[in-house]
Amino acid sequence: MNPVIKQIPNFITSLNLAAGSLAVIFAIDGHLIWAGIFICLAAVFDFLDGFAARIFKAYSELGKQLDSLADLVSFGLAPAAILFTLLEFSLFEINQPIYQIAARWDQWLILFSALLMPVFGAVRLARFNAVQSDEPFFRGLPIPANGIFWASMGLMLEVSKYPELFQHIFSTRILLILGLFTSGMMVITLPMFSLKVKNLKWNENWYRYIFLAIAVVLLVTLNVYGLALTILAYIFLNFGFYLAGVRY
The full set of domain ranges for the chain reads 3-193
pLDDT at 208: 95
The C-alpha atoms of residue 68 and residue 179 are separated, in whole angstroms, by 21
% of the chain exceeding 70 in pLDDT: 99
Name every residue whose Cβ is closer than 8 Å to that of residue 53 and which is 6 or more positions away in sequence.
Answer: 9, 59, 63
- pLDDT-flagged residues of the chain (< 70): 1, 160
pLDDT at 1: 57
Name every residue whose Cβ is closer than 8 Å to that of residue 202 and which is 6 or more positions away in sequence.
Answer: 209
CB-based burial of residue 187 (10 Å sphere; 0-12 exposed, 13-18 middle, 19+ buried)? middle
Say if domain 3-193 classifies as CATH 3.40.50. Answer: no
The C-alpha atoms of residue 1 and residue 9 are separated, in whole angstroms, by 14
pLDDT at 219: 94
Name every residue whose Cβ is closer than 8 Å to that of residue 36 and which is 6 or more positions away in sequence.
Answer: 23, 82, 150, 151, 152, 153, 154, 155
Cβ 118 vs Cβ 187: under 8 Å: no
pLDDT in tens, 230-239: 999 999 999 9
pLDDT at 139: 93
pLDDT at 174: 96
pLDDT at 232: 97
Dihedral angle sign, alpha carbons of residues 83, 36, 51, 145:
positive
